[in-house]
A and B are shown apart, each in its own frame.
Chain A
Amino acid sequence: MQTQIGVGILSLPYELHLKAKQDGWISLVIGAAILTIVLFVLWGIAKQFPEKDFFQINDVIFTKWPGRAISLFYVLYFMAVSVLIVLLFTRLISLWVLPNTPFWILAFLLIFVCLYLANAGLLIIARFYTMVSFLLLLLIVLTIYSLQEIHLMYLLPVGESGLGKIMSGVPEAMMSFLGFFVSLVFFSKVEGKSKDKLKIMLAAHLFVLVYYLFTVAVTYMFFSTEELRLVPEPLLYMLKSFELPIVARVDLFFVSIWVVSVATSFTTYIYMAGLGVKHIFNKKSSPIIHFILCLLIFVGATLIGYDMGKMNRFGEIIVGIGLGATVAFPFLMFPIVWLVKRMKGKGAGQA
């Protein structure tokens, strides 16, 4: 769940708005609805192999070598997402908090802390996530504070920008939900009945949707359509304008807490990539793998650095791959899983 509310939250409203104007929140809902179906498909796949994680499933249904190739592709994808997270994180920090700090220090800090967490294993990661999810509540409270200055007017007229435009915002919206793929990878690692797990998955999904919807709606109502075109991180700008009696800049605190959720999503991706590598190369010790992965991510991220143009292109590529890998692929996978399962079942029956 933490992974989902990752980096995207701050700039999401802006990107949505570029595509769909004030009806961006409709795109968000549509995107979430599509993803719910995907989630069911993922659940359907994972249910067939209750003891196996995602990479082992690949092995079974695509036979050994093609399966490994696909796993490798996913590992690369996870790593690419990690790089993207590092890039977005450092850019935002350098824009908002520390304009003079060199890139590698921030990247190193983030990677170092997350490496420490990832090495602790899934159980500890899960414990840690539940603990820090309380911080999300704090983020919400900070956002709620801004409710006093919103204008419902800005949301009107509903549906003005037309269906086509709304639909074109959907991929952007789905992008921000990309963390849902975690549920497939970790499905077997979590104890409990598959039905309960589905419930948890859906609940997490719903929570994320509500949370996104809330922030998007609040920012839309805070800034007029014209203003929103100019501010790339509307949530922060909105908070910046407030002044609590004790502290003047709420946005700085918001960013500080936001760092935590970035760190959690980054850790998840490292861990997933590490899991994949472990499986592909049949290795046992994860600390070394995680270390190598982090080194690669660090190098990859430093190559791009603060360069905005490169970063945007990189981001677009990742989004494209991400949509393919996490939305389209499961639909492809599902019938194959079903077929393989049936054939296996028949074979077992005959024998």
Chain B
Amino acid sequence: MGFWKRLFFGDHTKLEDRQPNDTKKEPKQPSSAKLSANIDYLMNEFNRTSDLKIRILKKGNAALLYFESLVDQEKVQEAIFKPIELGDVEDISNLPHSKETLNLEEAITTLLRGHAIYMEDGSRKISQFKVTSSFNRSPEEPANEKVVRGSHDGFVENMMININLIRKRIENRDLNVKYFKLGKKTNTNVAVIYLDGVADPEIVQQIETRMKDISADMIHSPGYVEEFIEDQTFSPFPQMLNTERPDRAVANLMEGRVAILTEGSPTTLIAPSTFFMFYQASDDYNMRWYTGTFVRLIRLASFIIAIGLPAFYIAVVGFHFEVIPDDLVIPVKSSINEIAYPPIMEAFVMVVIIELIREAGIRLPQPIGQTIGIVGGLVIGDAVVRAGLVSNLMVIVVALTAIASFVVPSNELSTTLRLLTFPLIILAGTLGFVGIVFGFLFILIHLSRLESFGVPYFSPVSPLRIKDLKDTFIRVPLYKMNERPKDSHAIQTEAVGPSREWKKREKTGKPQTIESGTNQTTGGDQSVSSDSSSE
């Protein structure tokens, strides 16, 4: 019946299963009608690996092949053998949910994806069954990007679940997902996601061409992708935002940016990104906007503290003692006087100790990690001062710096900041304030020179765009953020229309005008009054 229906009513182009990737260029190896020849070919291609399981059925006339390690045994039972047992179909090759091919190379890729294939002697047809097993972590909140309020789910290692998390949040037909297979040997799935009509097509295009240029054996994490496609690999600043939070990814997608997901890693790359994006946290948008602004300012102040405070202290102590007000001179001087080493040495020792403690704390199991923190922080800190190796002021300064560098919501930027401390310490130790100023000048020039996918990295400060400052240093109320920031090059600029018109109406007493049926909850009284006013 289906055949006749299609003959009379359907279109006559040959329909095929949609493949995530273009299969035309892939090699082809036609299957043979001989079962043994097919099996030999497959066994050779897989180098006789031990976990390729071959089950001979029908007294040697048919075979079911699958990778034991990739396949869920229960699913095999459920999908292939159960219908036969129940007598729904007589033959495995007739099972309706199988996908058929005549190409052995295709069978190889599907086998690797965790499918089972069924072949019969005397037929070239290969039936493929999806019986993949997958082990998924539940989408828990990422440990490195915790928020107090807001959604508590996070990306996981399975890309499909990640895309699901994004699609659930943006129910829009314009949300576009493009798959890439990267890594010549590993064949890692990478997805590029953007909102069509909002994201700048040029940037999307650029990201795609850069991705296609990647020619590496292995794409093992988003860090690989990042280093292959970012503009300046020699810059200390990260040029793509890494996040494990779906809400953060979605917010950036809505601003017209592009997200890059990699199979096997919960980290999503966001491009193009700007410096100030690293200082935004999802928390900010769930607070009162005053508090949001306050927290933002604290975070940005932490940037200055993190890279400048030790340098400033060293410059003051080493060169410009006269900057300290009179009352403070004696306590400062007395604490430094007994230290044998110059302040620059003290700073180096302390900063390195802090880094050691941090790194040790990460690698150790959690209970011991905390112990290390306490031993390192309290015991060593106290002992070092008592032993007269480091002045207690320096301990305060370095501890503050370390805390300030952890305030940044992004881990990459936080490491960058701690790295930048060192050159500034050296400059301050040799040239005092002048050195610091030149150091900062150099960093600022570098930041203004940096571009992320054609977008100035330090915008909206340089180039200055006052309008976009409302989501950088401060966070204005959400209904005031009516335009997308220019740095994402969004082609559709308006993001929030007039949303608080009810306030004006309350004042003027004008009724609500119902637009396109969206405001269905408006009471009957209002619609009546609007009728009367129109009359």
Q: A residues within 8 Å of B by Cβ?
A: 93, 97-98, 101, 105-106, 109-110, 113, 116-117, 120, 124, 126-128, 130-132, 243, 245-249, 252-253, 255-257, 259-260, 263
Contact (Cβ within 8 A) A259 B464: no
A267 CB, min distance to chain B CBs, angstroms: 9
User: Could you give 11 example pairs across A and B, Cβ below 8 Å?
Assistant: A109-B431, A109-B435, A127-B463, A127-B464, A130-B462, A131-B462, A245-B325, A248-B322, A249-B323, A259-B434, A260-B437
Q: Which residue of the partner chain B has the closest CB to A258?
A: B437
Given A252-B433, A256-B436, A127–B462 Cβ distance below 8 Å?
yes
B251 CB, min distance to chain A CBs, angstroms: 26
Q: Is B319 an interface residue (CB 8 A)?
A: yes
A253 CB, min distance to chain B CBs, angstroms: 8
Contact of B444 among A93, A101, A128, A247 (CB under 8 A): A128
Distance in angstroms between the alpha carbons of A241 and B441 in the assembled complex: 28
Contact (Cβ within 8 A) B434 A127: no
Contact (Cβ within 8 A) B433 A256: yes
Q: Which residue of the partner chain B has the closest CB to A101?
A: B431
Contact (Cβ within 8 A) A131 B464: yes
Distance in angstroms between the alpha carbons of A128 and B440 in the assembled complex: 13
B326: chain A residues at CB < 8 Å are 248
B446: chain A residues at CB < 8 Å are 116
Q: Is B448 an interface residue (CB 8 A)?
A: yes
Distance in angstroms between the alpha carbons of A97 and B461 in the assembled complex: 30
Q: Is B384 an interface residue (CB 8 A)?
A: no
Given A101-B431, A131-B462, A249–B320 Cβ distance below 8 Å?
yes
A162 CB, min distance to chain B CBs, angstroms: 42
Contact (Cβ within 8 A) A130 B434: no
What are the 6 tightest A-B residue pairs by CB atom distance, in nearest-first order? A131-B462, A127-B462, A127-B463, A128-B448, A130-B464, A120-B449
Number of A-B contacts (CB under 8 A): 85
Contact of A98 among B431, B436, B441, B464 (CB under 8 A): B431
Distance in angstroms between the alpha carbons of A116 and B325 in the assembled complex: 37
Query: Interface readout for B427-452 with A: 1 if CB under 8 Å, 0 if not?
Result: 00001111111100110111011000
B462: chain A residues at CB < 8 Å are 127-128, 130-131
Distance in angstroms between the alpha carbons of A128 and B458 in the assembled complex: 10
Q: Is B324 an interface residue (CB 8 A)?
A: yes
Contact (Cβ within 8 A) B442 A97: no
Distance in angstroms between the alpha carbons of A113 and B319 in the assembled complex: 22
Contact (Cβ within 8 A) A247 B323: yes
Q: Is B154 an interface residue (CB 8 A)?
A: no
Q: Is B456 an interface residue (CB 8 A)?
A: yes
Query: Interface readout for B138-149 with A: 1 if CB under 8 Å, 0 if not?
Result: 000000000000
Contact (Cβ within 8 A) B438 A113: yes
Contact of B441 among A113, A120, A124, A248 (CB under 8 A): A113
B444: chain A residues at CB < 8 Å are 128, 131-132
Contact (Cβ within 8 A) B442 A116: yes
Contact (Cβ within 8 A) B322 A249: yes
* Interface contacts beyond A97-B432, A97-B433, A255-B433: sample of 20 additional A-B pairs, CB < 8 Å, sorted by A: A97-B434, A98-B434, A101-B431, A105-B431, A106-B434, A113-B438, A116-B442, A117-B445, A124-B445, A127-B464, A130-B464, A131-B444, A131-B458, A131-B462, A245-B325, A247-B323, A249-B320, A252-B320, A260-B441, A263-B441
A245: chain B residues at CB < 8 Å are 325
A93: chain B residues at CB < 8 Å are 434
A230 CB, min distance to chain B CBs, angstroms: 21
Given A130-B462, A131-B462, A132-B444, A259–B438 Cβ distance below 8 Å?
yes
A97: chain B residues at CB < 8 Å are 319-320, 432-434
Contact (Cβ within 8 A) A127 B436: no
Quick one: which of B453-487 are within 8 Å of A by CB?
456, 458, 461-464
Given A117-B445, A124-B449, A128-B444, A256–B463 Cβ distance below 8 Å?
no
Contact of A120 among B432, B433, B438, B445 (CB under 8 A): B445
B437: chain A residues at CB < 8 Å are 256-257, 259-260
A257: chain B residues at CB < 8 Å are 437
Contact (Cβ within 8 A) B322 A127: no
Contact of A247 among B325, B432, B442, B464 (CB under 8 A): B325
Distance in angstroms between the alpha carbons of A117 and B324 in the assembled complex: 33
B434: chain A residues at CB < 8 Å are 93, 97-98, 106, 109, 256, 259
